[in-house]
A and B are shown apart, each in its own frame.
Chain A
């Protein structure tokens, strides 16, 4: 059973704990935050961590950093989940038709190659900036960037599974192409996809920080981890905690997801090398 092997995989369980911790913080944000993450307390600017009212301190506007971290977790996780869903759907769609229908392979994959030719972050910034700063637009930009990378992985495993004996058997038994693809080929190409999507979740959390930092993420004062880093940067000498905290939050999340991805790869798909981005 893969689940039992995962439960015994020490690094996977470490990653799971880190990730569950972040999810719990996001879910419990309303209870963790003693006040709104956007409420300013001008008399309490730059409170250091350990303050009686503000456990992790306040930023340049006297906003509660703990509250902003917890609500920021909601934004990062929402972006991650949405990017994974979009990328999973479109990546599987394009990868499957390219891998399964020989005539579509070349046209579909050249378009994917063209999107992959751009450095991921650069294209994401351009798309997000063109669409306007919002959470949904960050999701669209990242999905556009990561879909081709996912399609390539799905295509590769579909190409292998397509030739498997049980697929030939289904064809001989008279199953239609769509049915073979959806019922036989895709379910057996899932392992690399799941591993890839875990890493894409991690990239999305990192990318949110970059996009927000460059001003094309969800607009301030939305509490996102990237916005917090950008805000804190100007006060790094006087109040380094404003910058430190969100970076630690991102690191915990991404570390957790990377360990989950490594564990899943070890158990589901031992032959696969470290996935490309």
Chain B
């Protein structure tokens, strides 16, 4: 196991290093002079020159990258061009919203995704199966931007059950925060619920065919106790591996959902920065998001190897 951990750790460090370079470089794809784009259409040459120096754009690419990495190593993500604060401060303000939204959505995803999939598998080919799988298929097929807008229209404007948007911090009102996040979390989780339900179903079908399940049934254990005690545990193990994928999809979704519901989260922070060319925020935001996902995936891989020792030797 130690060898496996070291191997995985080395990979993850290499990937984070590459992620750093990509995060820094994406905005270098901008054609033309980024300084004049940041300065705006009416800027004088002097203003553009000042911004060029402020952004360090007068330096060659490799020096800028090295300066940035040197700052990172001291915990300095740089300063936002537009927000009058450091990138770290901007992220610290926005992160709680995204974390709360993601946890809420992931909880819905795990419960409903696994639930739908397991139910469908247990009642394979019945109308329950067809209903669950139709819901799952719609989940992965309907565009989340569109659903989110329709949700606001129907549940908030028409029925008046939820606010149309905005965020209430948890330290102000826990119930208020939960109400504000419910509709966004549902809209955010539908895609992942669909995906997870489809995987859970095929995983469950496979487990139900195994000898030990047949044996448990043959010796007279009740159907649901076999499913709950014997089958479900073995369904969860392969699903652990897709946790990282589901979380990544969920974070992709927050970008959209935070915009539609006007939630001040990380996704919106980065998208606004992208639209307004706030380079330090884009670079820092991309780096933090991707690094967090690398760490989650590392943890998932190690957990999986611990749960299922065969993995350590296969890789």
Contact = CB atoms under 8 A, between A and B. Distances in A.
Nearest to B18: A114
Interface in B103-126: none
Interface in A104-138: 110-111, 113-123, 125-127, 129-132
Interface stretch (A61-69, A173-181, A185-193, A210-218): A210-218
A122 B289 contact: yes
Contacts, number: 150
Interface in B233-261: 242, 245, 248-249, 251-253, 255-256, 259
Summarize A's interface: helix, strand, loop or mixed.
helix
A247 B151 CA distance: 13
Contacts of B172: none
Give chain A's interface residue range (CB within 8 Å of chain B). 35 or more
Contacts of B291: 117
B179 interface: no
A42 B88 CA distance: 48
Contacts of A121: 252-253, 255-256
B283 to A, nearest CB: 10
A157 interface: no
Given A110-B14, A111-B18, A122 B252 contact: yes
Nearest to A258: B141
Contacts of B146: 209, 229, 243, 246-247, 250-251
A131 B277 CA distance: 12
Interface string A164-176: 0000000000000
Nearest to A117: B290
B33 to A, nearest CB: 13
B245 A276 contact: yes
A243 B149 CA distance: 9
B100 interface: no
Interface in B144-161: 144-147, 149-150, 152-153, 157
Interface in A200-243: 202, 206, 209-210, 213-216, 226, 229, 233, 236-237, 240, 243
A195 to B, nearest CB: 13
A43 interface: no
Interface stretch (B45-53, B75-83, B195-203): B195-203
Interface of A: 110-111, 113-123, 125-127, 129-132, 202, 206, 209-210, 213-216, 226, 229, 233, 236-237, 240, 243-244, 246-247, 250-251, 254-255, 258-259, 273-274, 276-277
Q: Top 10 closest A-B pairs, CB basis?
A: A114-B18, A247-B146, A121-B252, A130-B29, A119-B252, A119-B251, A117-B290, A255-B141, A254-B141, A274-B198
